[in-house]
Amino acid sequence: MKTPTLPPSKLPEVGTTIFTTMSALASEHGALNVAQGFPDLSPPTNLKEAVKRAIDEGYNQYAPMAGDPGLRAWISEMYIQAHGAFYNADSEITIGAGASSLLFAAIQALVFPGDEVIIVDPAYDLYAPAVHLAGGVIARAALPQPPNLGGPGGAIDPEVIRNLMSDKTKLVIINAPHNPTGACFTSEGLNELADVLSESNCFLFSDEVYGPMNHDGRPFLSAAGHPGLKNRTLVFGSFGKLLHATGWKIGWVTAPEEITRELRKIHQYDVFSTGAPIQRGLAQYLITDDASKHLRELGPIYEKKRDRLLKGLEGTAFIFSPAEGGYFQILDYSKLDSRGDIEVAREWTIKHGIATIPISPFRKRGSQEAKAEKRLRICFAKGDSTIDEAIEKLRAIDMYYKSR
Ligand SMILES: Cc1ncc(COP(=O)(O)O)c(C=O)c1O
C-alpha cells in the first residue's frame, strides 16, 4: 500500500508557538508561569451566571454566522460611546472565535499573492504566518523607542511606515496596547498615520484586543475614532482579554460593509460561528452596571499590578520602561547576561523556576534584531501573590548574577 508523501510545509519557518513552548516547559519544571498571556483572575461572577443561564435557557445551537445580535448591538453602542464611531451592527460587526480567527479571515480575504503587508516590529506572532499563507510579503516597521531609552514612545512610527510603503503595499497592521511592549497609541501618531495612508490604496488593521487597558492617564484611543482612518480600517477586539476569560475565545471585528462582506465569506467556512451560550451570556451581562464598572476598572487594576511588579524590581539590574498599557511588562536583562533571550528564558525556567516569554519570536526569524534581543516579557495579569512570587524569583536571579 502506498502512503502519501508529505508535501513541502506551507509554513516552513513556523514551529509550536513560543507561548505553548514556554507554558509546557513551566509545567514540566514546576516553574512559576508568568509567560503566556492569560489572567489568573476569574471572570466576573455575574457573567459566569449569565453564561450558565444562557445554557439553561437553550442557547445551545449554532449562533448566527455574524454573531449574537445583542452582542453586536453592544459592540456598536460601545464604539459610539467610547470613540464617537458608528458601525452598523448587522453589516459592519462580526463575531468570531477570538480576535485570532477574524484576523486570520480578514488577512485571507484582503491579501493576494505578491501584496506587501507592513507590520510593526516586534509583532504578535499570528500576523506573519497568516500573511505568508495568503502569498503576501511582510515588511517590518520598528516601534519607536520607549521614553527611557531616548525615544518618543507610542505604538507606531508613521515615518518608518511611510518609508516602507510602495505601490504593492496592501495592508498595514498596528496594535495597541501593544503585545509584547505595552506601547499605546498617541493622537499625534494616529494623525500622522492617517496622513501617511491618505493617498494610498492601503487597508489598516488595528489590533486593539487590550482595548481600554491604558495606564498613567493615557486615553483609550482607537483607530475607529479617527475620521481619517475609519473607512480603511478593521478594528479587532477580544472579550477574552476584557473579561479574564481568554479560554472562551470570543472576539470581534468592525469594518466597513464591503470589507465585512468579504471577510465573512472566509469566516463562514472557517469557524462559521462560535460559542452560542457564551455570546448570549456576554450580551446579557455587558448591558449591566456591573459590566460597566468592570470595564472602567480594568485599566486601573492592571496599572496597580504593573506598579507592584516594578516597585518590587527597584534596585535590580533589570532595565525597564513602565508598560504604557495592557498587561505585559518587558524586562531587559542585558546587564546580567549577554546570551540570547530564548536560551536565557529556557534556563531561567529550568534553573530559577520562572517562565517568561522571549521577545525574539515576535521578530523576523534569524534577523539581526531577533539575534540581538535581550528582553523578556512578563505577564502581570496575575493575583498579587503570583506577582510577589515573580518579584522574589527575579530578585533572586539578580542576586545570583551579581554574586558570580
Ligand atoms: C495582540 C494580540 N492580538 C490578538 C490576540 C488574540 O486574541 P484572542 O484570544 O481573542 O484570539 C492576542 C492574544 O494574545 C494578542 O495578544
pLDDT at position 146 is: 83
* pTM for the full predicted model: 0.96
Could you tell me which of 95, 121, 108 has the C-alpha nearest to residue 175? 121
pLDDT band, very low/low/confident/very high, at 152 (cuts 50, 70, 90) = confident
b/e for 191-225, b at 16 or more Cβ within 10 A?
ebbbebbeebebbbbbbbbbbbbbbeebebbbbbb
The last residue of one of the domains, among 289, 310, 338, is 289
Which atom of ligand 1 is found nearest the CA of 239? 10
Q: 290-316, pLDDT tens digit by residue?
A: 999 999 999 999 999 999 999 999 999
pLDDT at position 145 is: 86
Residue 140 sits in the same domain as residue 248? yes
Q: Does ligand 1 come within 6 angstroms of the Cβ of 175?
A: yes
The last residue of one of the domains, among 225, 259, 289, is 289
Residue 169 sits in the same domain as residue 73? yes
Judged by DSSP in three states, 315 sits in coil
Could you tell me which of 104, 75, 88, 68 has the C-alpha nearest to residue 257? 88
Residue 132 sits in the same domain as residue 281? yes
Residue 61 sits in the same domain as residue 108? yes
pLDDT band, very low/low/confident/very high, at 102 (cuts 50, 70, 90) = very high
Calculate how far, in angstroms, residue 129's C-alpha sits from the geometric centre of ligand 1.
15
Residue 309 sits in the same domain as residue 248? no
Q: Answer yes or no: is pLDDT of 30 > 90.
A: yes
pLDDT at position 37 is: 84
10 within domain boundaries: no
pLDDT at position 13 is: 84
245 within domain boundaries: yes
> What CATH number should be reported for the domain holding residue 159?
3.40.640.10
pLDDT at position 4 is: 92
Residue 64 sits in the same domain as residue 192? yes
Mutating to test ligand 1, I would choose from 238, 244, 246 the residue with most ligand atoms within 8 A of its C-beta, which is 238
Judged by DSSP in three states, 21 sits in helix
Mutating to test ligand 1, I would choose from 94, 209, 278 the residue with most ligand atoms within 8 A of its C-beta, which is 209
In one letter, which amino acid is 140?
A: R
Which atom of ligand 1 is found nearest the CA of 101? 11
Q: Does ligand 1 come within 6 angstroms of the Cβ of 38?
A: no
Residue 267 sits in the same domain as residue 300? no
pLDDT at position 127 is: 97
When pLDDT is averaged across residues 215-237 and rounded to a whole number, the result is: 97
Q: Answer yes or no: is pLDDT of 148 > 80.
A: no
Residue 198 sits in the same domain as residue 226? yes
Q: Which residue's C-alpha cell is 531616548?
A: 150
126 within domain boundaries: yes
DSSP, residue by residue, 147-186? GGGTS--SS--HHHHHHH--TTEEEEEEESSPTTT-----
Residue 271 sits in the same domain as residue 301? no
33 within domain boundaries: yes
pLDDT at position 157 is: 95
Calculate how far, in angstroms, residue 100's C-alpha sits from the geometric centre of ligand 1.
6
Residue 343 sits in the same domain as residue 206? no
388 within domain boundaries: yes
pLDDT band, very low/low/confident/very high, at 339 (cuts 50, 70, 90) = very high
The last residue of one of the domains, among 260, 289, 318, is 289
Q: 52-101, pLDDT tens digit by residue?
A: 999 999 999 999 999 999 999 999 999 999 999 999 999 999 999 999 99
Print the domain residue range for 35. Answer: 18-42+295-402
Residue 213 sits in the same domain as residue 65? yes
C-alpha cell of 340? 540570547
pLDDT at position 163 is: 97
Mutating to test ligand 1, I would choose from 75, 241, 244, 357 the residue with most ligand atoms within 8 A of its C-beta, which is 241
> What CATH number should be reported for the domain holding residue 376?
3.90.1150.10
pLDDT at position 38 is: 83
Q: Answer yes or no: is pLDDT of 206 > 90.
A: yes
Residue 182 sits in the same domain as residue 124? yes
When pLDDT is averaged across residues 381-389 and rounded to a whole number, the result is: 95
CA atoms within 13 A on the CB side of 330: 25
**Cα 195 versus chain centre, distance:** 25
When pLDDT is averaged across residues 34-60 and rounded to a whole number, the result is: 94
Q: Does ligand 1 come within 6 angstroms of the Cβ of 246?
A: yes
Alpha helices in 66-157 (DSSP H): 69-83, 98-110, 127-133
92 within domain boundaries: yes
